[in-house]
Amino acid sequence: MLDAASKPVLAWPGASRPHTETLTRNPGVPFDLAWLDGLRVNQSAVARRVSTLGTRRAVKKDAQAAWLLKAITCIDLTTLNGDDTTARVERLCAKARRPVRDDLLDALGMAPGSIRTGAVCVYHRFVKAAVHALEGSGIPVAAVSTGFPAGLIPHPLKLREIEASVADGAAEIDIVVTREHVLTGNWQALYDEMRDFRAACGDAHVKAILATGDIRTLSNVAKASMVCMMAGADFIKTSTGKEGVNATLDVSLVMVRMIREYLARTGVAIGFKPAGGVSTAKSVLEYQILMKEELGRDWLEADLFRIGASSLLADIERQLEHHVSGRYSAFNRHPVA
């Protein structure tokens, strides 16, 4: 056990803010090409803005521990490997229920079992197993769908895959858009596809994966973000984690600015999920600062902010142990699954 003789009292970022678990779904709006007119991105200005995220605001000691605990509650704990098994998914679900060791939580002044992840994300094949393993926890299961990761299967099969995952108990569906629609500027086709996905999801929340590493330009990222939100996406997500380039702060800034624009136009709050490459405690703090500064306190909660990750949790737990004990531990002492 760690020495907990002097337990800090950790305050969440903005702890006084009341939090509601359920937000209004995004109903979408009719397609309007005029919303895309004039959408241009100044890449140099984006780079200058994101370069300040890790330097202007210092988050250290107890405050850093509190922000990292908050980050855990926003993780979509993920396994999307070709060698996944039911046993691995069950272990992942057990970790999602108790992502931080009880002795660490106790030393931080938190009740054992008081922290859980935002969701568990798996392939369709493992949805039923994950739902069973998480029964009673309140942790939703997210299923990747629509021919993940490339999204190149026939459209009717994409809709059937969504419906099958929802039938098996998935509360969230992470869909992949057809990159060709973005690369060719066929925004009506992207809108129509996304509307079909939204309808097939029914009551399940839908996250639209843009695969930003494949659609090449920040202007494409901005326009694809807006079209997917117009079509009813509840979240927009950077990547599948399988592209050559996944989540970056540059594309994330562009996407959250589009979320802000959509909120101003419609009054509907859309969530954001960076995925792939957010693997260290230091990097997740930069994303949290981005959300707080660009969108506000509400976007530090799991209903509007998720991080698609697997190895991130182990690094956060190591940082928390260092905060408590003053020593870094080996990764094998913090297994994810």
Query: In whole angstroms, what is the distance from residue 58 CA to residue 319 CA?
Result: 16
Please say if 192 is a catalytic residue: no
In the chain, domain spans: 44-333
CATH of 44-333, one of 3.20.20.70, 3.40.50.300, 3.30.465.10, 1.10.15.40: 3.20.20.70
Examine the pLDDT at 52 and tell me if it is beyond 80. Answer: yes
Which position has the higher pLDDT, 68 or 59?
A: 68
Which position has the higher pLDDT, 52 or 334?
A: 52
pLDDT tens, 285-313?
999 999 999 999 999 999 999 999 888 99
Strand partners, 176: 209
Assign 55 a pLDDT band (cuts: 50, 70, 90): confident
- Angle between helical axes of 43-51 and 249-266 (0-180°, round to 10): 100
Please say if 203 is a catalytic residue: no
For β-strands 235-237 and 205-209, DSSP reports them as parallel
- Kindly report the number of other CB atoms within 10 A of residue 296's CB atom: 15
Examine the pLDDT at 213 and tell me if it is beyond 90. Answer: yes
Assign 15 a pLDDT band (cuts: 50, 70, 90): very low
Catalytic annotation, pick one of 70, 223, 237, 292 = 237
- The answer to whether the CB of 141 falls within 8 A of the CB of 130 is yes
What six digits make up the tokens of 61? 């000691």
The helix (run of H) or strand (run of E) holding residue 71 is helix 61-72
Hunting for tokens 């994303």 — which residue is that?
287
Catalytic annotation, pick one of 174, 196, 250, 315 = 174
What six digits make up the tokens of 140? 């939703």
Cβ neighbours of residue 256 closer than 8 Å, sequence gap 6 or more? 272, 290, 291, 294, 295, 299
pTM for this predicted structure: 0.92
In the prediction, which pLDDT does 8 show?
37
Cα→Cα distances 269→21, 232, 260, 261, 264, Å: 13, 11, 8, 10, 9
Please say if 237 is a catalytic residue: yes
Hunting for tokens 């129509």 — which residue is that?
192
Q: How would DSSP label each residue in 72-97?
A: HTTEEEE---TT--HHHHHHHHHHHH
The helix (run of H) or strand (run of E) holding residue 121 is strand 119-122
Catalytic annotation, pick one of 70, 128, 207, 273 = 273
- The answer to whether the CB of 278 falls within 8 A of the CB of 287 is yes
Query: In whole angstroms, what is the distance from residue 83 CA to residue 130 CA?
Result: 16
The pLDDT > 70 percentage for the chain reads 91
Query: In whole angstroms, what is the distance from residue 87 CA to residue 259 CA?
Result: 38
Strand partners, 207: 174, 235
Assign 22 a pLDDT band (cuts: 50, 70, 90): low
> Which of 232, 212, 235 is CA-nearest to residue 222?
212
Examine the pLDDT at 7 and tell me if it is beyond 80. Answer: no
